[in-house]
Structure 1
Amino acid sequence: MKKLILIILSNLIFLTIQAAPFYELNDKVYKDFVQTVLFSPTDEPLQDPILHLNGNNTLNLSFDILGNANSVYNYTIVHCTYDWKQSDLQPIEYINGYQEDEIRDFQYSLNTLTPYVHYSLTFPGENLQPRLSGNYILIVYDTRNDAEHLLFNRRFMVIDDKATITAAIPQYPKNPDYIKTKHQVDVTVNADNSLLVNPNQSLNLVIKQNGRWDNAVVGLKPNYTYTDKVTYEYDESTVFEGGNQFRNFDMKSFKYQSEFIKEIRQESDCFSVYLWPSKRRNNANYVFERDIFGRKLIKARDDQESDIEGDYAWVNFFLDYPLPLMPDNIYIIGALNDWNLDEKSLMTYNFERKGYEGKLFLKQGYYNYLYGIVEKGQSKADVSTIEGNFWDTQYEYSVFLYFRMPGTAYDQLVGYNLIQSHYSN
C-alpha cells in the first residue's frame, strides 16, 4: 500500500513537470562541474544508447562531479516524438515503476591533480523502466527536478523491431555534381502490411551521420511504395557531405607526447595539453586513416583504472587560417563536446597567430574531431570548406524508422540499422 501511494504521488508531481518542460530535449550539460558524461550499451562504449523493448540489454551511464563532495542524484526519463519534441503522453503511460530513481554508486578519484567523484548507473533498473518504444531523454538532477537543479540530459532510444532496414551509398549519386564528393544514402524498408497501409502518414525516417544531429535528415517520407516495402531514393534529401576522416589525438598518458600532441604541461590542479597546429585539408588529397567515427574513448594508461585514475587536461586546439571568417564561426565537432555547436566548442580568432584557437576540458583518452563552419543565423555546420569533401570517406550512418499507429499519441521506433559508407547493409 505504501509503495502504491508513493507511485501515485510521484505521478502527480511529474504530471506538472510534463505540462511545463524546463529542460532541453537533447544531449546537454547544464553545470560546469559535471564532466565526461558517457551513456552507451553495457561493455560497448563506442555504440549508441539503444535498448530493445522487453529485451535484456542494459545501458551504462557514468559521469564525474568535480570536487571531493559526494551526493545522491536522481533521474527520470521523458518520451519524445521522432523529431525530439515532447510526446503527448503522461509518464505513467511510458514508465513502469516509479517516475524517478536514485544514482547512488560512486567512487572518489585516486591520485589525480583534478579531484572528482565518479558516478555510475546501470539502466534500466528495478524501480524504473521504459514501457514503450521510441525516443527518450534521460534527465539527471540534484534533489529536485527543476531548472535550478538540472545536471544534464542524454538521448536514448528503445526499439521494437517490426521492420528490416537496408541502406547503401552508391558511388554514383543521382546528381552528377556530387560524384566523388558526397554521400547519397538510399534506404529500403521491408515490413508487413500493417506498417505500410498509409506510409506517407504513419512513417517517418531519420538518418544521422556519425553522431551529428545538426545535419540529420528528420521526418523523411518514402518516395516509392510497394506491397511489402517502401524505398527512400532522393536526389537531394538524403545527400550528406562526404567530408574527411576524423582528426585525432591520443591522450591516454600524460607521460609522453603522442603523434599529434606538441606539449604537455603539469599545472597545479590539472594538465595543459597543446596540439600541433592544424592545417586545412580541403585542397589536399584524400588519405584513409582509421578512426572511431568522431567518438571518444575514455582510457588511461594500462596500469591505471580509467574511471577513477584518469586525470583531466585543458586541451588547446589551433587551426591556421589567414583571415577571420566574419560573421561566420568555426567550431570543434565531435563527441568530445557531445557533438554540440555551443560556446564550449566555439573557436576564436587570434590575429597575432593568424588562426583560430579553442580549448576543451577533457579526461584522459583517445579523441576524434573535425572543424566545421557555421554561417551566421544557421545551425548546421559545413565541414567541407576546412576538411575537404570526399566520397571515399568512411562514415557511419544510423537509420531509424518511426511508426505512428492511427489513434495513438506517440511514435514507435520500429526499425534501426547502422551502416558504414561503403558497405551496404
Structure 2
Amino acid sequence: MIKKASLILCLLFSVSIFSQAEEILPPDFIKTITFKGSTSQAQLPILRLGEPFTLEFDALTGNEEDFYYKIEHFDFDWKPSQLVKGEYLRGVDNVRIINYLNSLNTYQIYSHYDLRIPNIQTKGLLKSGNYMITIYDDYDEIMFSRKFMVVEDLVTVGVQPSRTRDFETINEKQTVYLKINTNGINLNNPLETVKVKIIQNNNLKTAISDLKPQYTTNSELIYRYDEEASFWAGNEYLNFESKNVRVANLGIQFIDLKELYHSYLFKQISRKNRPYTWNPDINGNFLINAVGVDNIDTQADYTVVHFTLLEDEIIGKDVHVYGNFNNFEIEDMTRMFYNRESGQYECSFKLKQGFYNYKFVTVDLDGTIDEGAISGNFWQTENNYKTLVYYRDLGARFDRLIGFGEADSERITN
C-alpha cells in the first residue's frame, strides 16, 4: 500500500515537472484583469528586470473577498525551472493583497484589487525569464493565473515583418525576419542555447517558437525563415467605445438601462470575401476609460455589451467573440448562439467601460481556432510582432530572457 502511494506521488510529481504550465481562466465574477508597467498599461506584460509592475482586477461580488498571490519561475517552454524561490524572488509571496477599493456610484457593485510589485513583502524579482502569477482565495481555490515575462536587455533584436514568399498564401500571410546583434556577448553554441519566440498581437497562444538561427557571425544571429516564421495575417479588429454609458459612442447603435446599462453594438457581417479596408485598431487590446469620473478604477461602470453577427449558420463549428479583453480565451461567455428567426449570431456579456477591440472567430470541435473564417486574411493587415530571445549557457540551470524587439507591419515590404 505504501509502495503504491509512493508510485502515485512520483507519477504526479513527474507530470508536474514535465508538463507545460497553462493559464487558468477566472470565474465569472472576476473581470478586467490588467497588467501595468512603470509607464503604461500592458496587455502582454513584458517587463524589464527591476521594473515595478501592477496587476489589477475587479471582483463583482461586493463582499470584499480576501485574495492571495504566488509567483513562480518557468523555463522557455513553460515548464517549471530548477530555481528555488529564494533564487528568483527577493522577499516572500503567498500573502494577502491588501490594496483594494469598493466601487463608487456604479450600478454594478465591485471591488477593485491592486497588487503592486515590489511591496513590503515581495521586494522584487531577481532573474529574467518566464513567470506565472497565481491568485487564490481564503480556501486555497485558484481564481486565475497569468503569464508574464521579465527581460534583461543584453542583445539587440531587429524585427522585420514581410509578405510571405509562398505563392499559395501570398495574399493571406505575413512572415517575420529576425536579426539578433549580440553586442559583443559570447553566446556559446547558439544553435542549441538560443531560443526565440515570435508573438503576433500579444497573443501567446499563437506564438511561434524554437526557430534556430540560419546564419551566425561573430556578432549576429540571422533568421530568414519563410513558412516556419509565417502567421495568418488576419484583418483589422472591430472596435467600440463605452466611455459614456448614457449615450451611444463609437461602434454602439443604441443603449438601454435595465439592471445595468446595456450597449447594443452595430450588427456586423462577414468580411472574408470583401475587399481589405484599413481601419485603425489596437491589435485586439482594450483600454479602460470613462468620462466624468475622478477614478476610473472604481467609478467606471460595467455594461452588458450585445454582439451581433449577420451570418448563415455554420454547421460543425462554434462562433466566438475574440480579443484580449479575456486574454484571447475561448470560453462559454464568448460563445455566440444562432438565432434562426433573425438569421444571426448573438451573445452578450459584461465589460467595464472603455475602448475595446474584438473580432469573430470559428472554433472546431477539437478546439482549433480559425481567426480568418469570418474576418478574412489579408497581407496588408497592420499587425504587431514581438520577439523574445532566451539563452541558457552551457551548464546553466534556467533560461534567461536576454532580448526583446518589436515591429508593426504597417509598412510591410514584399
Q: TM-score, normalised by structure 2?
A: 0.89
Which of residues 216, 219, 236 is equivalent to 1:225? 216
* Partner SS, residue 386 of structure 1: helix
Q: Alpha-carbon deviation of 1:76? A: 1.3
Shift of 1:375: 2.6
- Asked if residue 236 in structure 1 is aligned to residue 236 in structure 2, the reply is no
Distance 1:221 1:359 in 2: 44
**Residue from 366, 373, 382 that aligns with 2:370:** 382
Cα distance in 1 for partners of 2:279, 2:42 equals 18
What root-mean-square deviation, in Å, do the aligned CA atoms of Structure 1 and Structure 2 show? 2.4
Deviation at 1:137, TM superposition (A): 0.6
1:10-48 Cα shifts (integer Å, max 9, x gaps): xxxxxxx99986999344333222111111213412453
The equivalent residue for 2:33 is 37
User: Residue 138 of structure 1: which of 125, 133, 142 is its match?
Assistant: 133
Match of 1:182 among 159, 165, 173: 173
1:323/1:133 Cα in 2 relative to 1: closer, same or farther (>3 Å)? same
Match of 1:152 in 2: 144
CA contact (8 A) 2:187 2:393 kept: no
1:413 matched to 2:401: yes
Structure 1 gap segments, 5+ residues each: 1-16
1:340 partner SS: coil
Q: Distance in 1 between matches of 2:160 and 2:294?
A: 41
Q: Return closer, same or farther for 1:364/1:27 CA change in 2, 3 Å cut-off.
A: farther
Q: State whether structure 2 residue 348 is matched by structure 1 residue 359.
A: yes
Quote the Cα distance in structure 2 between the aligned partners of 1:193 and 1:303.
51
Output the CA distance in 1 between the equivalents of 2:63 and 2:144. 18
Q: Match of 1:255, SS?
A: coil
CA gap of 1:50–1:235, structure 2 versus 1, over 3 A, is closer
Structure 2 CA distance for aligned equivalents of residues 323 and 63 of structure 1: 36
Identity of aligned residues (%): 31
Query: Superposition pairs for residues 18-417 of structure 1, below 5 Å?
Result: 25-46=21-42, 48-53=44-49, 55=50, 57-128=51-122, 129-143=124-138, 146=140, 149-171=141-163, 173-191=164-182, 196-268=187-259, 270-326=260-316, 328-379=317-368, 381-417=369-405
User: Equivalents in 1 of 2:399, 2:208: separation in Å?
Assistant: 17
- 1:20–1:271 CA distance, 2 compared to 1 (3 A): farther
Structure 2 Cα separation of the partners of residues 210 and 198 of structure 1:
31
Q: Indicate if the aligned counterparts of 1:282 and 1:386 stay in contact, CA closer than 8 A.
A: yes
CA distance in 1, matches of 2:111, 2:16: 29
Q: CA offset at residue 138 of structure 1?
A: 0.9
* Residue 42 to residue 124, structure 1, CA distance change in 2 (3 Å): same
Question: Is the 2:73–2:132 contact (alpha carbons within 8 Å) kept by the matching residues of 1?
Answer: yes
CA–CA separation in structure 1 for the residues paired with 2:81 and 2:333: 30
Q: Deviations over 1:228-272 (max 9, x none)?
A: 21111112111111111110011111111124212322122x222
Residue ranges of structure 2 left out of the alignment (5+ in a row): 1-11
Cα pair distance change 1:32/1:18, threshold 3 Å: farther
TM-score with structure 1 setting the length: 0.87
- Greater Cα shift, 115-124 or 190-199: 190-199
**Residues 74 and 378 of structure 1: CA distance in aligned 2, closer, same or farther (over 3 Å):** closer
The change in CA–CA distance for 1:155 and 1:323 in structure 2 (over 3 A counts) is: same
How many corresponding residue pairs?
399
Secondary structure, in 3 states, of the residue corresponding to 1:112? Answer: coil
